[in-house]
């Protein structure tokens, strides 16, 4: 899990993926025939197939949700969100402001301490716009080191505990790990593989859209996390997936409907190879598959998901076996994809 730890802890909000991109590029260069970065910032690794012809695009997004500095108010910073953040997960956090150098700070809502709040004030819902960052610097020092637009990420150490691991940005560094690990495992493959670490997924699948236009794939497989709603306070009806139950094969979310022949193929493949899996229907949310599906004249797509607790929080949690099962299933798919007929 060393690589996953590095992937989780490296910063890279949407549009400012330069540091995570450098790390992923270095990893992919060890495994692919050719690696390049396109104009929007996607890393595209190409691995030639034995017979070639069919192009399979696999895509995991490298960007994470976070903030940019929107105002410098004295020695304090105000923030604009990048991606879908829930303010309830953001109280009393340590952050890193990526200014002229990395600066550690604390993030709190600009509201009164609870001791001196009126009953009315205590009831008011928290908003992202309430949050500010304290860097412990004077206004002058802050202005020297921080500019409007600088990225801000959560300062959170990756941990292993029991059967699980947890950290920030498991969405979607877990998917990137699956992609890298599958490339490591894949043996003979007939299809040409285009492994894409995409940018700007969290703000609307933008990297994958540009990537798919460039590649013109015959098959698209997105790699992402999905909701595991399997802990206290949840009911079976809303479970989506559960940790420890295996790789999730997506049937549908709100951005794409998986090609049903690809779904059947993936399910049979998991069964033949005794890879633990579960089926997934996600009522709201999407992955890069939603972009790949609709480029050019359309493309059969599917998503393989890593079940994740507390998605879009700083303690996104996955099961170590689930992520390994997802990579194993993807590797098997790449070895056998040429046998599939996904025409409708």
What is the binding site for Zn ion (CB under 5 A)?
Answer: 171-172, 224
* CB 65, min distance to Zn ion, A: 9
In 3D space, the residue among 230, 213, 237 whose CA is nearest the CA of residue 298 turns out to be 213
CB nearest Zn ion: which residue?
172
Whole-angstrom Cα distance, residue 301 to residue 219?
6
**Residues 6 or more apart in contact with residue 98 via CB below 8 angstroms:** 11, 16, 150, 151, 152, 153
The active-site residue, picked from 17, 27, 64, 201, is 201
* CB 171, min distance to Zn ion, A: 4
- Tokens (6 digits) for 170: 């498991």
201 catalytically annotated: yes
In the complex with Zn ion, the residue whose CB is nearer, 171 or 245, is 171
Whole-angstrom Cα distance, residue 257 to residue 277?
19
Whole-angstrom Cα distance, residue 202 to residue 15?
10
* CB 313, min distance to Zn ion, A: 13
Whole-angstrom Cα distance, residue 317 to residue 242?
11
In the complex with Zn ion, the residue whose CB is nearer, 224 or 322, is 224
In the complex with Zn ion, the residue whose CB is nearer, 77 or 195, is 195
* CB 42, min distance to Zn ion, A: 15
Could you tell me whether strands 219-227 and 301-308 are parallel, antiparallel, or unpaired per DSSP bridges? parallel
* CB 327, min distance to Zn ion, A: 17
In the complex with Zn ion, the residue whose CB is nearer, 27 or 172, is 172
In 3D space, the residue among 225, 294, 227, 218 whose CA is nearest the CA of residue 255 turns out to be 294
Whole-angstrom Cα distance, residue 249 to residue 264?
10
In the complex with Zn ion, the residue whose CB is nearer, 20 or 269, is 20
Catalytic residues: 201
């Amino acid at each position: 899990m060393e690589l996953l730890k590095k992937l989780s802890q490296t910063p890279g909000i949407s549009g400012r993926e330069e540091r995570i991109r450098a790390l992923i590029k270095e990893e992919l260069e060890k495994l692919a025939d050719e690696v390049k970065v396109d104009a929007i910032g996607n890393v595209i690794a190409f691995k030639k197939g034995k017979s070639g012809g069919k192009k399979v695009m696999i895509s995991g997004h490298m960007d994470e949700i976070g903030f940019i500095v929107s105002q410098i108010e004295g020695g304090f910073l105000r923030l604009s969100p990048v991606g879908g953040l829930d303010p309830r997960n953001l109280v009393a956090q340590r952050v890193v402001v990526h200014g002229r150098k990395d600066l550690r700070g604390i993030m709190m809502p600009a509201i009164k301490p609870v001791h001196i709040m009126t009953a009315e004030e205590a009831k008011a819902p928290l908003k992202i716009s309430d949050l500010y960052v304290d860097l412990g610097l004077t206004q002058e020092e802050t202005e020297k080191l921080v500019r409007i637009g600088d990225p801000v990420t959560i300062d959170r150490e990756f941990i292993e505990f029991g059967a699980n691991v947890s950290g920030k940005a498991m969405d979607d560094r877990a998917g990137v790990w699956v992609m890298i690990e599958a490339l490591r495992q894949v043996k003979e493959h007939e299809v040409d593989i285009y492994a894409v670490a995409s940018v700007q997924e969290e703000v609307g699948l933008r990297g994958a859209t540009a990537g798919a236009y460039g590649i013109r794939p015959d098959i698209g497989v997105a790699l992402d996390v999905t909701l595991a709603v399997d802990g206290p306070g949840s009911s079976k009806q809303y479970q989506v997936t559960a940790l420890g139950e295996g790789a999730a094969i997506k049937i549908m979310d709100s951005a794409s409907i998986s090609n049903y022949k690809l779904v059947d193929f993936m399910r049979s493949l998991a069964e033949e190879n005794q890879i633990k899996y579960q089926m997934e229907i996600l009522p709201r949310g999407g992955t890069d598959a939603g972009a790949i599906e609709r480029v050019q004249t359309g493309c059969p797509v599917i998503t393989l998901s890593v079940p994740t607790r507390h998605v879009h929080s700083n303690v996104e949690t996955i099961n170590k076996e689930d992520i390994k099962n997802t990579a194993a299933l993807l590797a098997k798919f790449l070895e056998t994809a040429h046998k599939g007929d996904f025409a409708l």
